[in-house]
Amino acid sequence: MSKSREIYVCQNCGSSAPKWQGQCAACGEWNTLVAEAPTPAGRAAARTRSGGARSDVSSSLAAEAITEPSRLTTGSGELDRVLGGGLVAGSVTLIGGDPGIGKSTLMLQTAAALNRVAPVLYATGEESLSQVALRARRLGVGEATARLVAETALERVLDAAAASGARVLVVDSIQTMYCERVDSAPGAVSQLRECTADLVRYAKTSGTAVLLVGHVTKEGQIAGPRVLEHMVDTVLYFESDSGSRFRVLRSVKNRFGAANEIGVFAMAEHGLKEVTNPSAIFLSRHPEPVPGSVVTVMREGTRSLLIEVQVLADASLGANARRVAVGIDGNRLNMLLAVAHRHCGLSLAGQDVFANVVGGVRLGETAADLPIVLAARSSLADVPAPQALIAFGELGLAGEIRPVPYGEERLREAAKHGFKLAIVPEANVPKRPPEGMTVRGFTRLRQALEAVAGEFARS
């Protein structure tokens, strides 16, 4: 019988090579190839045959009953929103985030809430049972905590889940689990792939909802190959600005709901608390109007959020003026300044321009184009914009103002927070504006700047 040769697997992208080399040929990372023993073909074939009871049964789409997936409410409205309405039976959800951001806290609180309506098994591979119990007592969920098991062997975790009849399985974390049939250390690419594949098969065949906690790399991505994100149904990321007590849970993939949906939490003494009105966090009202500040409305999933955009234009002390963008794409900032100069005569040559989004939020949509230029004009002229002003709109290279999606929803959100004047694209002007709000639409950037100049002067 021939001896199986070792293969070298990249711990960053999961590609394999027949021999060791300093740089991975697939992703270009250095010193990421690790020797691993290949999985015997016989075991893989046996595992495939036993993985699902219906692997050899085909069916037409018309023959399948089309029903809404059954969901379990997690006890957290923000988490249910990100999941698309609740936890789907038989789904696999992967949650990533920086160390200490609150992943285990959220999972423990969720497990305690779910345990009131369905049996839950919480498998911890990083902490002992006493450590988990201490955290549960601190969070005030000690009496409602689900069944716990401190184990890193995946086969034993699945046996415990089957024996307890758990409808929800929490694994904290996937990097600590290992399959006994794979000859590599926990956290290796082959272990991550096999453990995740086994958990996906178990979820689909038993109808158990599985929640996986994953570590992230220094680049902010879930550790291990990206194939893990393709194997699961939902991928959520925990985000937080440095030093902030607020946490944003973002959905980057969801087979049962909208992607890019967000939920906002606040880290308090007794765990994570829901923030039902996120606009109040990201929107800071100044005691008096200040130059260079304009409020816009961003769209995240199905939610509209009010965000303050700030621009500071100051005389440059060096030969080359600086352009610094925080929360905004730097190339887009340069493009917007060029459009304003070419079509409106707004010259910022010799000026250092600093753009910032308040609250550590990153604006990835084009609706912030118009408010960025308005804030730059306000800062350069040292004239504050009215506090009751809201603006959004995309700018084209020809100086036109293009409409953005969900214009009416954005206006309603702004009206709820007391904004009286809206500067928007002409195509986003509703037939019936929100009560108490004046909506002015424009097709060209020059027209908008000339009209707003009067509002600046009156403020």
- pLDDT, tens digit, for every residue of 36-72? 766 554 444 444 434 444 445 566 666 666 677 789 9
- CATH of the structural domain 70-276, one choice from 3.30.365.10, 3.40.718.10, 3.40.50.1100, 3.40.50.300: 3.40.50.300
Q: Does residue 289 register a pLDDT over 70?
A: yes
Instruction: Reply yes or no on whether the pLDDT at 420 is more than 80.
Output: yes
For the CA atoms of 348, 442, 305, 244, the dihedral, rounded to the nearest 10 degrees, stands at 10
Distance CA 7, CA 31 (A): 15
Average pLDDT, the chain: 86
Distance of alpha carbon 30 from alpha carbon 12, whole angstroms: 10
Given a cut of 70, whether residue 412 has pLDDT beyond it is yes
Identify the weakest region by mean pLDDT among 126-130, 309-313, 407-411.
126-130
- Domain 281-458 grouped into CATH 3.10.310.30: no
Q: Quick one: DSSP state of residue 444?
A: B
pTM, rounded to two decimals? 0.77
Please give the pLDDT value at position 220. Answer: 58
**What is the CB neighbour count within 10 angstroms for residue 45?**
10
- For 98-233, strand residue ranges (E) read 120-124, 147-150, 168-172, 209-214
Angstrom distance (rounded) from CA 276 to CA 230: 31
pLDDT of 329 strictly over 90 = yes
Nearest to 169 by CA among 115, 116, 231, 117: 115
- Summary count for the chain: helices (H), strands (E): 12, 23
177 band by pLDDT with thresholds 50, 70 and 90? very high
Cα distance between residue 203 and residue 201, in whole Å: 5
Average the pLDDT over 187-215 and give the result.
92
My answer on whether omega of the bond before 15 falls inside 30° of 0, hence cis, is no
CA 190 → CA 49, 255, 345, distances in Å?
A: 20, 25, 59
- Domain boundaries along the sequence of the chain: 1-38, 70-276, 281-458
- pLDDT attached to residue 226: 67
130 CB contacts (<8 Å, ≥6 apart)?
none
Q: Which class for 328: exposed (0-12), middle (13-18), buried (19 or more C-beta within 10 A)?
A: buried
**What average pLDDT score do residues 291-295 get?**
93
The residues that bridge with 168 in the sheet, in sequence order, are 120, 209
Tell me the CA distances in angstroms from 258 to 74, 212, 303, one per residue in order.
17, 20, 11
C-alpha of 91 from chain center? 18
Q: Find the helix or strand (DSSP H, E) in which 62 lies.
A: none
Decide if 265 contacts 275 (C-beta within 8 A): yes
Most confident range, picked from 45-59, 74-88, 284-298? 74-88
Please report which confidence band the pLDDT of residue 432 belongs to, taking 50, 70 and 90 as the band edges: very high
281: phi then psi, degrees, rounded to nearest 5 = -80, -50
3-state helix, strand, coil in the chain (%, to 5): 30, 25, 45
Residue written as token pair 């929360």: 327
DSSP letter assigned to residue 353: E
Residues 355/372, Cβ–Cβ less than 8 Å: yes
Average pLDDT in the 274-279 region? Answer: 85
Tokens of 432: 């019936």
**23/158: higher pLDDT:** 158
Q: Write the pLDDT tens digit of every residue in 240-254.
A: 876 678 888 999 999
Residue 42: per-residue pLDDT:
44
- Is the per-residue pLDDT at 219 higher than 90? no
Q: Report residue 211 as tokens.
A: 């929640």
Tell me the pLDDT tens digit for each residue of 99-113: 888 999 999 999 999
Backbone angles phi, psi at 136, to 5 degrees: -60, -40
Q: Binning pLDDT at 50, 70 and 90, where does residue 278 land? A: confident
Residue 319 CA to residue 168 CA, distance in Å, equals 61
Sheet holding 147-150, edge to edge: 147-150, 120-124, 168-172, 209-214, 92-97, 234-239, 246-254, 262-268, 271-274
Can you list the alpha helix ranges (DSSP code H) found in 28-90?
A: 41-51, 77-83
Where b means 16+ CB within 10 Å and e means fewer, 283-319 reads beeeeebebbbbbbbbbbbebbbbbbbbbbbeeeeee
What are residue 313's DSSP bridge partners? 353
Mapped to the 3 state alphabet, what secondary structure does 122-160 carry? EEECCCCHHHHHHHHHHHCCCCCCCEEEECCEHHHHHHH
Q: Both tokens of residue 18? A: 């027949």
pLDDT tens digits for 370-397?
Answer: 999 999 999 999 999 888 899 999 999 9
Segment 317-330 shows an average pLDDT of 90
Neighbours of 102 (CB within 10 A): 18
Other residues' Cβ atoms within 10 Å of the Cβ of residue 34:
17
